[in-house]
Chain A
Amino acid sequence: MSARGARQRGDRPQAAHAGREGPALSVNGLCKRFGDRVAFEDVSFEIGYGEVFGFLGPNGAGKTTTVRTLGTLIAPTAGTAMVAGIPLTPENGVEIRRRISIMPESPGLYPRLSVRENLECFADLYEVPDPRDRIDRALRAVKLLERDRDLCGALSKGLRQRVALARALLGDPAVVFLDEPTAGLDPVATRDVHELIASLRDSGVTIFLTTHRLEEAERLCDRVAILNTRLRTIGRPAELRERLFARTLSVRTRTPLTDPGRVFAGLAGVEGWRVRAADEAPAPGAGGAPGAAPGADGAPGADGAAGARAADGAARSDGTTYLLEVSDPYAAAPAATRALVAAGADVLSIGEWHHSLEDVYLQLIDDPAPEARP
């Protein structure tokens, strides 16, 4: 299916921004070429007001160029878009820029000016009424009110990033484009930025978040799109996981099973099994990211001895983990538990294994197929 076909809209309740008709961003077949080089092409999506939309992709995928195009800095080669309800045309540039704000990857602050002086300049560029009050509110939001007299050149990278965020809030934007907003921030500052993004979303502001931090996207974004020149996929993180990966049950035993193939063979709903490899990192909130487990893969009825050997190799001090591909974990889990108990296994835990957004990302970025997945 084409990227256009992959269009979806967030259905988050939009109570805070009633009165704003239509999507905050509507992009249709957008394309940008620099001579022969394609920055991005055939990009289509819609984003609702109050939605946090993650825009992911490797370096050079066209993320920043897309943001610049939607921010009227760059003219698209083809395609159409509506930004904050206004058609993306050169004539509408000023009106669009009035309703959006962009925080670029580099904070871009004037180093010889104080924090407040930097913000004063931008408050005047946005022609905000009562700039002093607006600046105070923006600084309070990023917890920098006490540092407003400091020269920006003397601030740490993290603090500069926060000033840039405050600057992005000055114009009371309907859509905020954030390019790597937490790059260089310590965990506390990162948490503050996440809270700020959440509060912006709650007040009806649309956030277009470009990030390489997949756990950040997973945590903050209502939906994500993965771009690699073309849109690879778009959807809610949970949907993408379900779309790309079979559901998996994680079974942990104290010692390796002597014949796991026999234990798992024929279990209702179990379509295959393997031993979790020793180098598989745990995924957030659950087992971990399933990767290759050479020599340990098995469909029901696979060579039990091979499975046992692999299990020996993958055995950890905290037990051995088997990953079962299942159609329905709720039906498969009781059956697996009974089979394990019948086989005399010491079961430590059993639960659903969650693939991370990183798995989705890696799967799609490595996939040479240019078509977007619905």
Chain B
Amino acid sequence: MSAPVSRRRVGAILRRELRDYRRNRYMLVSMGVIPAVFLAEPLIYVLRLPPSASVPLSHQHQLLYMLGIPALVPALVAAASVVTERAQGTLEPVLTTPVRREELLLGKALAPLLPSVAVSYLVYGLFVCVIELFAHPGVAPALLQAPVVIAQVIFTPLIAAFSIWVGLAISTLSRDIRAAQQLSMLCNLPVVAFAVLTAFNVIHPTLGLAVGAGAALLAAYRVGWRVVSALFDRERLVSARGR
């Protein structure tokens, strides 16, 4: 039977990563720019709508467009996670401690998850506040339908978690930080495309679709954990063969 995961060790990795993000200007800019881009477009679009637009608007789901944020922000951050540590030589000392692979991966996965989900919710809140305050009457109720808001709340962490496993897998295999980040973003583009097409009603969102997508993401999450666990081999990570 495998030993229980040490919360203290997971916490150590998590705290260390969050401290590092906070002091990494590049990381902060990345975490700010992508949400800003995904906020600006729907905001401009909605604020320019006339009051008569509320009826056709009820067939659109602008809020879902912003699911691109949990798809791309953690992808960028997670993709840098392992490859950066290998490049700066900090991974080997960590691997020489009693930390287990699962603890290290859990810490590394939680670190991008928390800020990216928080940023996503913050941006949604900002969007809702702005359209409630400044959009024409009728626009906000047309956009903020309960199923969409619920879907938004549920799918944000699911998409972020999937994106993190993709990012971590690529980061574990990569030798170059920028290449890892670009590849991770590319791999997450289908998720973004799906969200955008749903937002503009090209893909008609239904309860069945939501359940199916949720199940697919949960399955992908399990596969992602196994794949990254298998890739996260100490020997490969520290020896020249893995570089």
Contacts and interface: CB of A to CB of B under 8 A. Distances in A.
Specify whether A and B are partners: yes
Contacts of B20: 110, 112-113
A98 B99 CA distance: 9
A43 to B, nearest CB: 17
A121 B96 contact: no
A117 interface: yes
Contacts of A126: 97-98
B59 interface: no
How large, as a class, is the contact surface on chain A? 35 or more
B97 A125 contact: yes
Interface residues of B, number: 32
B88 A97 contact: no
Given A68-B239, A112-B20, A112-B24, A97 B92 contact: no
B235 A121 contact: no
Contacts of B9: 124-125, 127
B16 interface: yes
Interface stretch (A6-14, A69-77, A201-209, A249-257): A69-77
Contacts of B238: 68, 73-74
Nearest to B22: A112
Nearest to B239: A74
A94 interface: yes
A111 interface: yes
Nearest to A109: B90
A131 to B, nearest CB: 10
B15 interface: yes
B33 interface: no
Contact of B92 (A73, A124, A127): A73
B136 interface: no
Nearest to A171: B97
Contacts of A164: 93
Interface of B: 3, 6, 8-9, 11-13, 15-16, 19-20, 23-24, 88-100, 234-235, 238-241
Given A68-B238, A113-B20, A121-B13, 5 more contacts: A34-B240, A73-B92, A108-B91, A113-B16, A126-B97
Give the 10 A-B CB pairs with smallest separation, nearest first: A124-B12, A106-B89, A125-B97, A112-B23, A108-B89, A102-B96, A108-B93, A121-B16, A98-B98, A97-B98
14 contacts: A74-B238, A94-B100, A101-B96, A102-B93, A104-B93, A107-B89, A110-B88, A111-B88, A112-B24, A117-B16, A121-B13, A125-B9, A125-B97, A127-B98
